Structure 1
Amino acid sequence: MDEVADYKAEPPVGVEPIGASTDSAALLYKTIREDIVSGRLKANQRLVVADLARCHNTSTTPVREVLQLLRGEGFVIFTRNRGARVRPIDRDFVRDIYEIGVLIEPALTRWFVGMATEADIAELEEVQAQIEANNFADQIKHSDLDTKFHTLIYQRHYNQHAAELWWKHREVLRAVSRRFDFTLARRAQVMRDHRELIALIKAGDADRAAELVARHVEGSGLHILEHMRVMEAARAS
């Protein structure tokens, strides 16, 4: 089997929930977080500790820990006298996430350009070849390969907190974008950006590579926001 074609998105090396005290708490964190991102737990839904503990067959202690972790990431809101509730993943939240990416990803890219080997570039080219062969026909496969492409650039960075933040925000945007098709213009831009980025990495041009990634991330965020705006307008009409 083709290792790249069969790739399923995995977080960068060392990326785990910050502060999870046990493996079971880390697993519970991932489960509840995915329930929020996917919409199984609805926006503004109350998160009752006892109910979550019963649902996940655990005690209330890890549930409280997980809710505090998710609060720190902005997925859960605590209100006095009302407890915890799900933070709506709305356009404001998506905008905040991609704007953080515009700040973080260029720095991660700039470092990679100075460290990239011929083997690294060959691997990026192989992933890009798979992306182009798929040509958005299977959007889940495209999403996995696109995440693989960027993970290759970010995963070895010495600042694993930054890599972790990128990964977690990336997963939110991936979940939201599942609802929408790529426009033809966005498809073409993704391909151009990836090809140009590889060329800049080969040339050792860290500054231009970082500038390109900032535009790439912003374009992705604006693409999602526009889809969300159209969907909201359709619901309101």
Structure 2
Amino acid sequence: MKPELSSLYDRIIDDMVCGSIPMGDRINISELSKRYQVSNSPIREVLHQLQAEGFVEIAANRGARTIDLSRFEVESINEILGCIEKSLIDWEGIVEVDGIVESLVRINEQLTTVEKNNNYMITKIDHQFHYEMFKHHYNERFIRMWQIQRTTLDIFTSQLDKRKSRVDSMYDEHCLIIEMFSREDHAALIKLISEHHEASQDFIREQFKSLRK
């Protein structure tokens, strides 16, 4: 993707995650052109890319809409994401990356200063923490697969009420993960990642019930 299209892609995705472009909404190309100050053509190109990745649905004579996730779809994405993360963390070289502990600490510390009602920023920090763990994997296609599934989940989870207790738990779980990185304890890291993912799944299921009432 050309740099200008890549930048536009990132801005649209970010607006979907923060809710400026809500789930299930019809997409008006002219309005997006004004918002991002570009012509209709690059908007259409990016929308087709977003369609290919599952973020947007485009139907003949009905235009484009952002995805709207059902409970079944969210749980399916969670399951897929768990399998991908397990495969990524199985690569033993992941614990030997230079500077990864310092980077993870720096990212995780942001959870101690972010406002606890800022669901968007909490979602972004959590995404960044996990991406920092996995981005060094040798298989770039696998990483891209993870990014698509994780971002799809972000679009949904950024709506959730991440109470202080959940943010604190997330921070503590991250600290344990960082400790295993510092020890280069690969077996313990695999176990922790699995437990961290299960805690996230439980939180999403609980929140889904209240969100969809």
What TM-score does the superposition give when structure 1 sets the normalisation length?
0.68
Query: Deviation of residue 220 (structure 1)?
Result: 1.0
Q: Indicate the SS of the match to 1:181.
A: coil
Q: 2:170 aligns with which of 190, 212, 232?
A: 190
2:160 and 2:211 in contact (8 A); partners too = no
Q: Give the letter for the 1:155 counterpart.
A: K
Query: Deviation of residue 202 (structure 1)?
Result: 4.9
2:161 is matched with which residue? Answer: 180
Which consecutive residues of structure 2, in runs of 5 or more, have no partner in the other structure? none
Q: Indicate the SS of the match to 1:41.
A: coil
1:31 is matched with which residue? Answer: 11
1:197 and 1:209 in contact (8 A); partners too = yes
Distance 2:99 2:206 in 1: 38
Q: 1:77 aligns with which of 54, 57, 74?
A: 57
- Percent identical residues: 26
- Bigger relative contact order, structure 1 or 2, given CA contacts below 8 A and separation 6+? 1
Q: More deviation in 166-175 or 36-45?
A: 166-175
Q: 1:103 aligns with which of 66, 83, 93?
A: 83
Distance 2:95 2:81 in 1: 21
Judging changes above 3 Å, is the alpha-carbon distance between structure 1 residues 217 and 113 closer, same or farther for their aligned structure 2 residues? Answer: farther
Judging changes above 3 Å, is the alpha-carbon distance between structure 1 residues 223 and 124 closer, same or farther for their aligned structure 2 residues? Answer: same
Which runs of structure 1 show a deviation greater than 6 angstroms over 4 or more consecutive aligned residues? none
Query: Deviation of residue 66 (structure 1)?
Result: 0.8
Distance 1:156 1:60 in 2: 36
Query: Deviation of residue 213 (structure 1)?
Result: 1.1
> Does residue 220 of structure 1 match 2:200?
yes
Query: Deviation of residue 52 (structure 1)?
Result: 3.5
Distance 1:148 1:39 in 2: 18
Q: 1:47-196 maps to which residues of 2 (within 5 A)?
A: 47-111=27-91, 113=93, 115-116=95-96, 119-121=99-101, 123-124=103-104, 130=109, 134=112, 138=116, 146-174=126-154, 176-177=157-158, 179-182=160-163, 184=165, 186=166, 189-191=169-171, 193-196=173-176
What TM-score does the superposition give when structure 2 sets the normalisation length?
0.74
Q: Indicate the SS of the match to 2:203.
A: helix
Query: Deviation of residue 226 (structure 1)?
Result: 1.5
Which consecutive residues of structure 1, in runs of 5 or more, have no partner in the other structure? 1-19
Query: Deviation of residue 86 (structure 1)?
Result: 1.7
Distance 2:201 2:192 in 1: 14
Q: Indicate the SS of the match to 2:138.
A: coil
Q: Give the letter for the 2:141 counterpart.
A: H
For these two proteins, the number of residue pairs brought into alignment is: 210
> Does residue 40 of structure 1 match 2:20?
yes
Deviation track 1:196-218 (CA, whole Å, cap 9, x = no partner) reads 43454455443442233123123
Q: Which has the larger radius of gyration?
A: 1
